Amino acid sequence: MDNYNTPTLKKELANYISGYVDGEGCFCISFSKREKLNIGWEVKPSFAVSQNSDRRQVLDLMMKYFGCGFLRRDYGDKTLKYEVRSLDELLEKVIPHFLAFQLKSSKQNDFLLFTEICKLMKDQKHLEIKGFKRIVELGYTMNGSGKRKHSKDILLSNLKMKI
Amino acid sequence: MDNYNTPTLKKELANYISGYVDGEGCFCISFSKREKLNIGWEVKPSFAVSQNSDRRQVLDLMMKYFGCGFLRRDYGDKTLKYEVRSLDELLEKVIPHFLAFQLKSSKQNDFLLFTEICKLMKDQKHLEIKGFKRIVELGYTMNGSGKRKHSKDILLSNLKMKI
* ipTM associated with this complex: 0.88
The DSSP bridge pattern shows strands B41-51 and B79-84 to be antiparallel
Distance (Å, whole) CA A157 – CA B7: 54
pLDDT in tens, A33-54: 888 888 889 999 999 999 888 7
Where are any strands of DSSP class E within B8-144? 25-33, 41-51, 70-74, 79-84
Of residues B83 and A155, the one with the higher pLDDT is: B83
pLDDT at A162 over 70: no
pLDDT in tens, B110-155: 999 999 999 999 999 999 999 999 999 999 998 765 677 788 888 8
Query: How distant, in Å, are the alpha carbons of A125, B102, B117 from that of B120?
Result: 62, 21, 5
B106, closest residue in chain A (CA to CA) = A55
What pLDDT band is residue A145 in, cutting at 50, 70 and 90?
low
Q: A15 CB near a chain B CB, below 8 Å?
A: yes
Helix axes B129-139, B107-122, angle to 10 degrees: 170
Partner-chain contact A23 B107, CB within 8 Å: no
pLDDT in tens, A68-108: 999 999 888 888 999 999 999 999 999 999 999 999 999 99
Q: B80 CB near a chain A CB, below 8 Å?
A: no
- What domains lie within chain A, and their CATH numbers? 7-156 (3.10.28.10)
